[in-house]
A and B are shown apart, each in its own frame.
Chain A
């Protein structure tokens, strides 16, 4: 009887690394001892492997963190850690090994950044979660190097729940500190769901760039300059503020005098595609529009009262 019991336990735990056979309640404070036990076991199982994917990044006068997401050493981090494309940086792996790296692109809008290690590995890497898979009230945990790399201490773990998720930002109660920037937020499957970005002075105000920002703009981040708030001004301007919706982007407000208003776009219209490219994040729309020059014509597909409409519009200038 006893051996059967142990055998079962072993089987359950051995499959944990991929999926969890446990139903968690979808509220914040409602968790059982059993829930806590499952979360703890899952984190402890994943920790040794995931720690090897989280790195410390040395900049000239400070430190951030990052997480390796490909076998050949691509690291995702925060835009304010890499600061610009083509910067030489030093990355410290969890075992203390130092490797040089060069920054790629990213976006200051969502605070996403990338860098590539000057060594093709193979490296252990973390898997990125599928777009839209992280939900409010889910358990999560954060790894990073608060106050920079510390050999005696090691990587620091924080565990908590997702408190809010909106557009490119996830808020959790996993407390962060300077040096954590660019470190990874994981779900209980051990997939990256966010990158540490910013905090306030309140313990529950910890903000992470959601992985969706990277997934949606992967090629752009990899190949183009870092999108800064400054170089947005030079590009085209549509003039809508929107939020993510089921089909695309729901327009909340149209800027008076903008190209969008002239065209007759209204609040509650739902943007679907720009030049045939599906709009899954606000940032994607901003990036696509800013890549165009003022006056350039784009094709916009949108949904109004259940009817799909396709129009062409000349972009304006950002005021």
Chain B
């Protein structure tokens, strides 16, 4: 790890003023520390925002929905009765990530912004596309944990479990930069490798996530998050799925289905949603939707097994949300 300067930001404005160049924002610091230890990130200065006041609130408003400060930890999301009752998929996504120790420190903002876990990206031994090289080593290499969709250029999967749930819940981000605040739909925030292989999202160099907002959910909306790792303790998903269903009687009026660990960005599968919308939710329609969810997958040499797992999880999540 290189030597670096540590600075404490007192306010959001203060943090924004100190950012840019070789300065990097540090919240929980988990992903950052990993990258610094491996020499993937070599910031000259860390801007600690952990102690900025007012960024760790969880509150709900009937009109505007759920508000999360970026410093809310995964453990808080998991433990919040409000989040668990109304936004179950988010509580479960946070609660099943990493380990209890990590969840106590990891923030939702950092979770959304973390860099991919691709083992080629994470190793200083491989100068891959993402790091300015000219090869995606996964495409012809060891790709058992890689993308089965959108994997033509770079086969990373987006690592954020909370993103899977939040995209399904229609979340929006508030970003604050030198020019003030802007808001963006989380779904549009992520950047595919085709657009820019060096980044996974569109946050500006001097921007901070200052809020995560989930719009109000209609009565009877249910959300489910399912994760399948090879292990239950301390493992990344080989597949995770978030399903949000709005219903009128037995009919599904609106469905939102998102696959995590499937593509370089959280992947909303509209064909699966359409297979449910306007229909009764049952084993049969769930099966059709699940099959639609994985249609068009382009698995690599070692990750074809992920396809039936995604199909299974989508079906099970739909049935759990029904």
A binds B: no
Q: Residues on B close to A: CB < 8 A?
A: none
